[in-house]
Amino acid sequence: MKVVLFCGGYGMRMRSGDAPLPKPMSLIGARPILWHIMRGYAEFGHKEFILCLGYGAQIIKDYFLNYRETGSNDFILSHGGAEIELLETDITDWKITFIDTGLETPIGERLRRVRPYLGNDEMFMANYGDGLSNVDLDDLVARLPGNHVGSLLAVTPQDSFHVVGISPEGNLTGLEAVADMDMRINGGFFVLRQSIFDYFNEGEDLVTHACLRAAAEGRFQANRFDGFWACMDTVKERAYLEGLEETGMSPWKIWRSGHPTVRVAPPQAATIPD
């Protein structure tokens, strides 16, 4: 199944000085988060990627054009470096399509612009390009009902702030950590059918337009997920993921032993509140 990755983010909240890296190229260990995401999909056999490029497009292109398998795989070197035998590979059998979809283009329009590269495939997956998870992708695909145009992963927020309760008189009535509330946010892991294109127009967004329109008809699914999920949108979030990588506690690395996948909870239909 093809995987569309939205790679046009500026990564403004993670920059130090005038660092030019686009958000998907922010490193976790020796590899950018984009590579980690792609490696996870590839573990399930999904190795055809369509990159919706925007800011820093050339940086992403150059990374893969100059890719070195030895950077993340064991190998045997002989004859003074004249021969290298890889003991394992990662991107050798990947097929990556690079499409410049514009600098300020909404996600939905980026998706619309790469539609021709989806071919005749009824279903495909999509990802924001800044989140990691140990979700069982096979399970996610299998749970999409036949009459639905798509699903998203509904995860608990990472935020550490508290929600304040206030009385009509202005008195504090309570504090509740967001993590303890029955609250879900969009985790950015989508399973979609091409019929999703019937729900948005040129220049519109994927979630706030297409997904909500489909949800209003009972045709979009939200999958509750309580396994590992984390995004990289701020310096703090990047430090958290780097810390996991440094200690070897990297739950998203399902391609390594000791990092099992997690199935989603029973699905529920996404609806618009009254």
DSSP assignment string, 112-177: HHTGGGGTT-SEEEEE-SSEEE-B-HHHHHHTS-TT-SEEEEEE------EEEEE-TTS-EEEEEE
The answer to whether residue 162 sits within a structural domain is no
Number of structural domains, the chain?
A: 1
Q: Is the pTM of this model over 0.95?
A: no
Q: Which amino acid is at 23?
A: K
pLDDT at 71: 83
The answer to whether residue 169 sits within a structural domain is no
Q: List per-residue pLDDT tens for the chain, 274 residues long.
A: 999 999 987 755 555 555 568 889 999 998 999 999 999 999 999 999 999 999 999 999 999 999 988 888 888 998 888 888 888 888 989 999 999 999 999 999 999 999 999 999 999 999 999 999 999 999 999 999 999 999 999 998 877 678 898 999 989 998 888 777 778 999 999 999 999 999 999 999 999 999 999 999 999 999 999 999 999 988 889 999 999 999 989 999 999 878 999 999 865 555 544 4
Element (H, E) at 239: helix 235-247
pLDDT at 45: 96
pLDDT at 16: 52
DSSP 77-114: EEGGGTEEEES--SSTT-EEEEEE--SS--HHHHHHHT
Tokens matching residue 30: 């020796």
The answer to whether residue 104 sits within a structural domain is yes
pLDDT at 98: 98
Contacts of 249 by beta carbon, 8 Å cutoff, 6+ apart: none
What are φ and ψ of residue 182, in 5° steps? Answer: -80, 70
Domain with 236, as residue range(s), is 2-155+184-269
Partners of 48 in the beta sheet?
2, 95
The answer to whether residue 122 sits within a structural domain is yes
pLDDT at 181: 75
The answer to whether residue 199 sits within a structural domain is yes
What are φ and ψ of residue 35, in 5° steps? Answer: -65, -45
Contacts of 267 by beta carbon, 8 Å cutoff, 6+ apart: 143, 145, 151, 221, 222, 223, 224
Tokens matching residue 129: 């390009």
Tokens 């003074």, residue?
80
What are φ and ψ of residue 84, in 5° steps? Answer: -130, 125
Tokens matching residue 148: 């639905």
The answer to whether residue 114 sits within a structural domain is yes
Q: How far apart are CA 144 and CA 192, in angstroms?
A: 9
Tokens matching residue 39: 């490696």
Q: Cβ distance 267 to 221 under 8 Å? A: yes
What are φ and ψ of residue 71, in 5° steps? Answer: -70, -25
Using alpha carbons only, how large is the chain's radius of gyration in Å? 20
- Angle formed at CA 24 by CA 20 and CA 28, multiple of 5 degrees: 95
Q: How far apart are CA 216 and CA 274, in angstroms?
A: 11
pLDDT at 207: 95
Measured in whole angstroms, how far is the alpha carbon of residue 170 from the centre of its chain? 41
Neighbours of 116 (CB within 10 A): 8
At 102, which CATH number?
3.90.550.10
The answer to whether residue 245 sits within a structural domain is yes
The answer to whether residue 171 sits within a structural domain is no
